[in-house]
Copies of this chain bind each other. A is one copy, B any other.
Amino acid sequence: MSVRIPYDELKATAKKAFLNLGLSEEKAEICATIHSQSSADGVESHGMNRVPRFAEYVQKGWVDVNAEPELVGKKGAVENYDGHLGIGITNALFCSDRAIALAKEHGIGCVALRNTTHWMRGGTYAWHMADEGFMGISWINTESCMPMWGSDVPSVGNNPFCIAIPREDGPIVVDMAMSQYAYGKLGVYRLAGKQLPYPGGFDKEGNLTSDPGAIEDSRRILPTGYWKGSSLAIALDLAATMMSNGRSGADLDEENRGSCTGCSQIFIAYDPYLFGDKEEIQAKLNKRVAAADAAHPINEKRPVKCPGEGTRERRKDCMENGVIVDENIWEQIRMLAEGNLNVTDIAST
């Protein structure tokens, strides 16, 4: 069951929880804002649902709430940082802001971050760059969670890739993992007794299937676009490793901690109005979006939308009517806010 909690109450409660976990006032404010916004945007899986898990990571020592990113090197439009296993959100926002600062100076800015932790909702940083008026690209490498194409065991991460195009009418944003469905989504369908709308993996016998439980059993989740998502996933892993001189997915697998602990991330910002008139460029983008949205729909009641447009509608609804939160998660966050940090107990509720 879910409840609707007013955004301000949600954020204030989450902030108390983060303060109790040892975060500074500034970091608690940032993390409470990002987790609350993610849920308000409809990304519950990496919004409020992750607050109790974050508490667990801190207590396991996977996240050092006091660490700050450290400059490793700088050349022209590029900077490298070591995240020192600090908070994924604050490390990634810092690097996004550095990419923007570099883009202001050099037209484009690229920041590679190694040795960091889970950044929660991947799209946060591309949205942030777009909100600041820059085109944003970011990606991450993760532990292996899906088979390489041609393999029957998890052997590459789902390595989300994000890109955001700034628009005055609201950015167009893609935030896509390289697996067709997240494991979390499979669980949601299984618990509801439903089949996936499209095949999401292979069963133990190697048949393509839409049965979520069969895929959870086989661990043979499907790459986005079959061989294509598998190829892009390994390339993004290699690129992040090379650019940050950090851990690859193979290193993460070897260390076998979990939840992206120690991973590598990339942040690229681009100044969109270097040589062209802002109004002219915005008009071109609006024309392209309008043409896509006007494409004849399969179902007249479901008009075509560009990515990000639906998110803005969900956000508006949640800001007006309260953010949707699972009631068990809400109870756990309230316990954390009250100072009950016994995460093992919390996780079992």
Contacts and interface: CB of A to CB of B under 8 A. Distances in A.
A237 B199 CA distance: 28
Interface size grouping (class) on chain A: 35 or more
Interface stretch (A39-47, A49-57, A295-303, A316-324): A295-303
Chain A interface helix/strand/loop/mixed? mixed
Nearest to A249: B288
B241 A284 contact: yes
Contact of A108 (B108, B161, B239): B108
A274 interface: yes
Nearest to A290: B250
Contacts of A106: 75-78, 106
A212 B303 CA distance: 27
Interface in A223-258: 224-226, 228-229, 231-232, 234-239, 241-243, 245, 248-251, 253
A109 to B, nearest CB: 8
Nearest to A173: B235
A135 B238 CA distance: 10
A298 B77 contact: no
B243 A298 contact: no
Interface string A286-309: 011111100111110011111100
Contacts of A253: 291
A176 B12 CA distance: 45
A174 B232 contact: yes
A231 B305 CA distance: 9
A288 to B, nearest CB: 4
Interface string A319-342: 000000000000000000000000
Nearest to A175: B231
Interface string A68-97: 000011011110100000000000000000
Contacts of A225: 176, 180, 224-225, 228-229
A76 B248 contact: no
A238 B78 contact: no
Nearest to A202: B298
B108 A238 contact: no
Interface string A172-195: 111010001000000000000000
18 contacts: A73-B274, A75-B106, A76-B77, A76-B105, A76-B108, A80-B274, A108-B268, A135-B242, A148-B304, A148-B306, A150-B304, A153-B296, A155-B291, A224-B225, A241-B281, A251-B284, A251-B287, A253-B291
Given A106-B106, A237-B288, A242-B272, 13 more contacts: A151-B296, A153-B295, A156-B292, A164-B235, A165-B242, A172-B234, A172-B238, A180-B225, A224-B224, A234-B307, A245-B275, A248-B288, A251-B284
